[in-house]
Amino acid sequence: MDSSARERPGPRRGGASPPLRSAPGSHREGEMEDGICKQEMLQKKNAVLVDGVVLNGPIMDSKAGEKFVEEACNIIMEKVIQKADDVTEKVCEWQDPETLKQILDLEMRDAGESHQKLLQLCQDVIQYSVKTSHPRFFNQLYAGIDYYSLVARFITEALNPSVYTYEVSPVFLLVEEAVIKKMIEFIGWEEGDGIFNPGGSVSNMYAMNLARYKFCPEIKEKGLSGLPRLVLFTSEECHYSMKKAASFLGIGTENVYFIKADERGKMIPEELEKQVQRARKEGSAPFLVCATAGTTVLGAFDPLDKIADICEKHGLWLHVDASWGGSALISRKHCRLLHGIHRADSVAWNPHKMLLAGIQCCALLVKDNSGLLKKCYSAKAAYLFQQDKFYDVSYDTGDKSIQCSRRPDAFKFWLMWKALGTTGLEERVNRALALARYLVEEIKKREGFQLLLEPEYANVCFWYIPPSLRKMEDGPEFWQKLHQVSCHISSVICSLLIYLYAR
Amino acid sequence: MAESSWLERPGLDKAAGEEFLREAFQVLLDEAVRKGTDVTEKVCDWKEPQELRELLDLELRSSGELPERLLERCRDVIRYSVKTCHPRFFNQLFSGLDHHALAGRLITETLNTSQYTYEIAPVFVLMEEVVLAKLRELVGWSSGDGIFCPGGSISNMYAMNVARFHHFPESRQKGSWALPRLALFTSRESHYSIQKGAAFLGIGTDNVHLVGTDERGKMIPEELEKEIQRVKAEGAKPFFVCATCGTTVLGAFDPLDGIADICQRHGLWFHVDAAWGGSALLSSKHRHLLTGIERADSVAWNPHKMLTVGLQCSAFLLRDTSGLLQRCHGAGATYLFQPDKFYDVTYDTGDKTLQCGRRVDCLKLWLLWKAAGTEGLARRVERAFAYTRYLAKEVKRRDGFQLVLEPEFINLCFWFVPPSLRGREGSPDYWPRLGKVAPAIKERMMRKGSMMVGYQPHGARVNFFRQIVTNPTVTKDDLDFFLDEIERLGQDL
C-alpha cells in the first residue's frame, strides 16, 4: 500500500470516541453525534458541516459495536451452541402468540436502546425460539448443527458479499463453481451448469422456466398469450412448490397433471405414459416431467429410469426434485435410490436438509453445458455486467440468475465438505438412515405403535394408538379419534413424521 | 448389532466443533470485522481468477482436513474477499457494517430456522409482522400486508404476479396462455428485474413497455399516458405500472403523483420499486422525493441497501388488507399448514409466499432499529445525502471532474477527464477516448486495492463513475481521498 492510503496509523474507527453506552437506560445514537461529537467538532472550528450534518466525525462507535458483537456471540455460545446436544433442555419454550407479543417488546421506537437492553433482547429472541439444533427436534426436513457450516455462515455474514460478479465476490463465485462441479459429478454428468437459489421451490421454478425456454425460446420475449396450452406432469406426492411455480410462471395450476403414485408413494410410470398421451390428444403441449427423489411426507423415490424412458420417447424435459433425497447420492450404500438420475436434464438438491449445511443451501443443477441457463435468464445489464472489464467477464456468472444480489450459499457447503470430506458426509447420510432403520424396528416391536409403511429413506411415518383405542374396531370412528390423538400430542399431522439426522 | 452401538455415540464431535467455532470467530472478528473496516487496509486483494483458484485449493476431496488447515482456509477466504464494509468500498448500492445488524445475522444463522409457521419460528413470525408494519407506516399506510423476499428482483416479481392475479384471478389456475396479451409499463431507467420478471412470469419481455424519461432520468407521465393509449389501440391489455424511486444508475425518482393519477384513470396496478430509494422515507428532510408513494398498491423496499442491514433484506409491501397475497400464492399444503393445529393458524404466514423454506430476514433489521431508533436511522440517511452534496460540490470545483447531472439522491455520477483530454471536447475521438478512462482507473484501483467504485455506459453517454456512499463510518477524509485517488490514478491517461 502506498502512503497515500495510509492517512493515519492503526484502525481509526471509534478508538478515540467516548464509550457509547456506558449507562443503562435509553440511548440515542443521534445524541452521540449531536451531544458530544458535534459539540467537540464545532468547538474545534474545523467541523465540516453539510446540510447540518457533521461530515468529519464518526457516527458509529466501532469499539462499542465490536464489544456488542462479542457479547452477543457469548450469548450464542452459551445459550445455543453449548446446549445444542443437551436433552435436558427444552426444544421449544411454548407461548401462545398473544402472550409472546407481550413478552418480547417488539415495538420499534424513535430512540435507540441501551447496550444491556439490546443484549437482553438477544437473549429473549433466543429463549423463545425453537431450538432446531436440539437432538429431539424432528419436525422439519432440516435439523441439527454443523460447526463448520456455522463458521462459514458467520464469515459470510461478516463479509456481506453479493455473488453477481468476480470483481465484487471473487472467492465466493469460484467456490460456487467448484461446488456445482462436484455436485454434478455425483449426479453422474460429465459436465453441466448450475446455480444456488433461495430455496428448493425457487430451484423448481428455475427448472420449469428453463424447460419452457428450451421448448420454445420465444416465450422469453413474447410470453405465453396465444400459445398452445403448456402442460407438465408430476407425481401426486410432489412438493407443493410445483403448483406455486406453475401459477407464478403463468402456466396455470390446472395444467399441472398429477400422476398417481403406488402404495409406497412412488409415481407410476404407466400412469405417466397415459397422461402424456391424454395431454397430446387434447391438443395441449406437454413439455416437462418433474420426478421427485424423496417426497416430503413419505420419503418416496420415483422410478427415475422408467420415467426417463418416457421423457426421452416424448421429447420432454426431465427435472428431478431431489431437494430432500439428493443427499443420498453421497452415500455409496444408498445412492441406488436415485438410480437413473444422470438421465435428468435438471436436478434440484438442497444440502441444507440432510447434510446440515444451514438454511439456505439449494442448488439447481443443469445437464446442458451450452449456456442455456444464461441464455434463458440473462438481461445483460450494462451497469453490472460491463463487457470492457479488465478481467475475463465470463466469470461474472450472476446474469444466469433471476436475482440481482445473491447470497454466497455454496460456501458453507464447501467449508463443511473440506472439513468432513466426502467420507464424513457419507457417514452422515448412512447414520441418518441407520437411525431410521433402528426406529422402524422399535416401532414394530412396541405395542400401540403402527407403521404407515416401510420407509426407504429417513421419513418414519407411524401412528401412535393410545391404550383407549387399541381394542377399537377399524372404521371411521376409530380413525377420527386417532386423528385427534396426533393433534393432541404434537400438532403435526395425522401421522407423526420423524426425520432423522446424524447427531 | 454393531450398527446400534455406533448409533449410541453422537455423530459429531461437539468439543472439537465448539473449539473450532471459538477460534474461527476470533479470526472473523480480527480479519473481517476489524481489518475489513480499517481504512489503512486494502479494500480488495486482487488476484486473477486462475491464480485465485490455485491459491484457494478449491477441490473437494474424500477426506476431511484438520482444524488448523481449516482456519487457514478461513483466513484465505477473508483475505481474498472484497471488504464491502471498508470505508472506501463505493462500488454497489450497499456498503459498510453495522455491528448490531451483524449480531442479528449471527443469531439468525445459529438458530437456523425457516420462517413458515408459528410453531417453528414463533419469535420471527411475530417480529416480521411488526417490522413490516413499521415500514408500511413510513410509506403512509396504517394497515396492509407484505412479506420479506430474497431480494428486490423477487419483490418486483411478486408485485407483477399479484397485479396479474388481481386483474385476472383465473390466471392462477388457467395460466396466461388463455389471457389476452398483457402489457406492463416502466421507465427506461428501471431496474432490469422488471424484464427478468416479465420473462419468468410468462408475460414476455416484448410486453414490457419502456417509458421515456427526462434529462434527470425521471419517467415522463405524459409519455406513460401515450404508451398506454398506444398499447391499448394495438389490442393488448395494460395491467401494471412500475415506477422507480431511486433508479440504479442515476438515482432518479419518478413523479409518483402524476403516475398514480394515470394508473387510477386506467385501473392499473401501481407498484413502486423503492428498493434503493425507499430508505429516504426515514428522513423528514428527504422523504419528499417519494411524495405520493402512499397511493401505490405495492412497494418494494430493500433495507439491505442504504441501511447497512446485510444481504438480504427486501420487503414487499402491499396496501391490500383482503388477503390478496394469500389468495394469490397460498397452496394450503397439508403437511405444513394444517388447519387443526392447537393455536391460531392465521399466524402461519408462510403460505403467502412463493417459497417454502424461507430465511429469517427480519431479525437483523429489527435489532438495528432497536439499537439506532428511527431517529438514528434518519441521521444515517441524512448523512449519506450530505456526503453526496459535499462530493458534488468538490467535483464541480476540481479541474478535470465533470458531473453527469446534479444528483437528487446519493448516486454521484461523473467523468474524470485526464489532463491529456482536457479542452479537447471538440475533437471527434473525445468521447470514445474518455470512455476508456474509467475502466483503466478501475483496473488500477483494484490492483492497488485502495478503493472500489463502479462505472458504466448509460444511454448515449460513455463510461462514467457512479459513486455511492451508504457506509455511515465514511468521513470527509475518505471522500477527499476518493477524488484525490482518482486524480492520482488517472493523471497519466
Tens digits of residue pLDDT in B34-60: 999 999 999 999 999 999 999 999 999
Looking at the predicted structure, is the pLDDT value of residue B1 above 70? no
State the pLDDT confidence band at B5, using cuts at 50, 70 and 90: low
Nearest to A59 among B17, B53, B380 (CB): B380
Q: What integer is the mean pLDDT of B454-474?
A: 94
Gap from B393 CA to chain A (nearest CA, Å): 10
Q: Are B153 and A402 in contact (CB under 8 A)?
A: yes
Q: For residue A486, what pLDDT is reported? A: 63
Q: What angle do helix axes B256-266 and B221-233 make, rounded to 10 degrees?
A: 20
A98: enclosing H helix or E strand: helix A97-104
Lowest mean pLDDT among A110-114, B18-22, B163-167, B339-343: B339-343
Lowest mean pLDDT among A39-43, B418-422, B459-463: A39-43
Gap from B171 CA to chain A (nearest CA, Å): 6
- Cross-chain Cβ contact B153/A159 below 8 Å: no
State the pLDDT confidence band at A489, using cuts at 50, 70 and 90: low
Q: Which amino acid is at A308?
A: A
Q: For residue A499, what pLDDT is reported? A: 55
Q: Tell which wins on pLDDT, B215 or B340.
A: B215
Q: For residue B200, what pLDDT is reported? A: 96
Q: How far is CA A424 from CA A431, B12, B18, B338, B351, in A?
A: 10, 10, 18, 36, 36
List CB contacts of A82: < 8 A, sequence separation 6 or more: B18
State the pLDDT confidence band at B212, using cuts at 50, 70 and 90: very high
Gap from A187 CA to chain B (nearest CA, Å): 15
Residue ranges of alpha helices (H) inside B140-253 are: 152-167, 171-174, 193-200, 221-233
How far is C-alpha A73 from the chain's CA centre? 23
Q: For residue A261, what pLDDT is reported? A: 97
A402 contacts in chain B (CB < 8 Å)? 153-154, 157, 193, 196-197, 200
Nearest to B14 among A85, A175, A377 (CB): A85
Tens digits of residue pLDDT in B214-245: 999 999 999 999 999 999 999 999 999 999 99
Gap from B325 CA to chain A (nearest CA, Å): 12
Q: For residue B318, what pLDDT is reported? A: 98
Q: For residue A416, what pLDDT is reported? A: 95
Tens digits of residue pLDDT in A106-115: 999 999 999 9
- Cross-chain Cβ contact B85/A151 below 8 Å: no
Q: For residue A491, what pLDDT is reported? A: 34
- Cross-chain Cβ contact A224/B202 below 8 Å: yes
Left (φ > 0), alpha (ψ -120 to 50) or beta: where does B211 sit? Answer: beta
Q: For residue B452, what pLDDT is reported? A: 97
- Cross-chain Cβ contact B20/A146 below 8 Å: no
Instruction: Identify the closest residue of chain B to A161 by CA–CA distance.
Output: B84
Instruction: Identify the closest residue of chain B to A436 by CA–CA distance.
Output: B7
> Which one of B106, B248, B383 makes the best mutation probe of the A interface by having the most chain A beta carbons within 10 Å?
B106
How far does chain B reach from its first CA to its final CA, in angstroms? Answer: 76
Cα gap A331→A310, rounded to integer Å:
27
Longest dimension (CA), chain B: 89
B483 contacts in chain A (CB < 8 Å)? none
Q: What angle do helix axes A147-159 and B14-27 make, rounded to 10 degrees?
A: 10
- Cross-chain Cβ contact A250/B449 below 8 Å: no
Nearest to B174 among A69, A254, A384 (CB): A254
State the pLDDT confidence band at A45, using cuts at 50, 70 and 90: low
Q: For residue A215, what pLDDT is reported? A: 96
Looking at the predicted structure, is the pLDDT value of residue A467 above 80? yes
Looking at the predicted structure, is the pLDDT value of residue A6 above 70? no
A333 contacts in chain B (CB < 8 Å)? none
Residue ranges of alpha helices (H) inside B28-89 are: 49-56, 67-80
Phi, psi for residue B417 in degrees, rounded to 5: -105, 110
A209 contacts in chain B (CB < 8 Å)? 199-200
Question: Length of chain B in residues, anyone?
Answer: 493
B450 contacts in chain A (CB < 8 Å)? 1, 4-5
Tens digits of residue pLDDT in A104-156: 999 999 999 999 999 999 999 999 999 888 888 877 777 778 999 999 999 99
State the pLDDT confidence band at A482, using cuts at 50, 70 and 90: confident
Q: How far is CA B70 from CA A170, B22, B66, B218, in A?
A: 19, 13, 6, 51
- Cross-chain Cβ contact B114/A359 below 8 Å: yes
Average pLDDT, chain B: 94
Instruction: Identify the closest residue of chain B to A390 by CA–CA distance.
Output: B443
List CB contacts of B265: < 8 A, sequence separation 6 or more: none
Q: Are B326 and B173 in contact (CB under 8 A)?
A: no
Q: What integer is the mean pLDDT of B291-315?
A: 96
Q: What integer is the mean pLDDT of A443-461?
A: 91
Query: What does DSSP say about strands B89-90 and B452-458: parallel, antiparallel, or unpaired?
Result: parallel
Looking at the predicted structure, is the pLDDT value of residue B3 above 60? no
- Three-state DSSP class for B428? coil
- Three-state DSSP class for A363? strand
Looking at the predicted structure, is the pLDDT value of residue A227 above 50? yes
Q: For residue A493, what pLDDT is reported? A: 32
Extract the C-alpha cell encoding A268: 407410476
Looking at the predicted structure, is the pLDDT value of residue A26 above 80? no
B22 contacts in chain A (CB < 8 Å)? 77
Q: For residue A47, what pLDDT is reported? A: 74
Looking at the predicted structure, is the pLDDT value of residue A306 above 70? yes
Q: For residue A11, what pLDDT is reported? A: 41
Query: Burial letters for B124-142: b for 16+ Cβ neighbours within 10 Å, e otherwise?
Result: bbbbbbbbbbbbbebbbbe
Tens digits of residue pLDDT in A263-291: 999 999 999 999 999 999 999 999 999 99
- Cross-chain Cβ contact B202/A219 below 8 Å: yes
Tens digits of residue pLDDT in B105-159: 999 999 999 988 898 899 999 999 999 999 999 999 999 999 999 999 999 999 9
List CB contacts of A45: < 8 A, sequence separation 6 or more: none
Cβ contacts from A onto B, under 8 A? 595
A56 contacts in chain B (CB < 8 Å)? 475-477
Tens digits of residue pLDDT in B442-452: 999 999 999 99
Look up cell 450404500; give the residue: A333
Q: For residue A39, what pLDDT is reported? A: 52
B151 contacts in chain A (CB < 8 Å)? 198, 403-406
Q: How many CB atoms lie within 10 A of CB B149?
A: 27
How far is C-alpha B390 from the chain's CA centre? 25
Looking at the predicted structure, is the pLDDT value of residue A28 above 50? no
Q: In the sheet that A459-464 helps form, which strands lie side by side, from edge to edge?
A: A449-451, A459-464, A496-499
Q: How far is CA B396 from CA A56, B180, B493, in A?
A: 20, 52, 21
Q: For residue A338, what pLDDT is reported? A: 97
Q: For residue A1, what pLDDT is reported? A: 34
Sign of CA dihedral A146, A152, A155, A156: negative
Q: For residue B333, what pLDDT is reported? A: 79
- Cross-chain Cβ contact A162/B94 below 8 Å: yes
Looking at the predicted structure, is the pLDDT value of residue A158 above 90? yes
Q: What integer is the mean pLDDT of A475-499?
A: 61
Average pLDDT, chain A: 86
- Cross-chain Cβ contact B373/A109 below 8 Å: yes
Tens digits of residue pLDDT in A360-409: 999 999 999 999 999 999 888 888 888 889 999 888 888 899 999 999 99
Looking at the predicted structure, is the pLDDT value of residue A16 above 80? no
How far does chain A reach from its first CA to its final CA, in angstroms? Answer: 48
- Cross-chain Cβ contact A55/B180 below 8 Å: no
The 3-class SS string of A308-356 reads HHHHHHHCCEEEEECCCHHHHHHCCCCHHHHCCHHHCCEEEECCCCCCC
Gap from A361 CA to chain B (nearest CA, Å): 10
Look up cell 387434447; give the residue: A282
Phi, psi for residue A194 in degrees, rounded to 5: 170, 175
Q: For residue B142, what pLDDT is reported? A: 96
Global ipTM: 0.94
Gap from A134 CA to chain B (nearest CA, Å): 10
Nearest to B3 among A4, A107, A434 (CB): A434
Instruction: Identify the closest residue of chain B to A102 by CA–CA distance.
Output: B126
Q: Are A316 and A288 in contact (CB under 8 A)?
A: yes
Q: Tell which wins on pLDDT, A27 or B53.
A: B53
Q: For residue A468, what pLDDT is reported? A: 86
Q: For residue A58, what pLDDT is reported? A: 67
- Cross-chain Cβ contact B439/A389 below 8 Å: yes
Instruction: Identify the closest residue of chain A to B449 by CA–CA distance.
Output: A1
Q: For residue A354, what pLDDT is reported? A: 87
- Cross-chain Cβ contact A157/B310 below 8 Å: yes
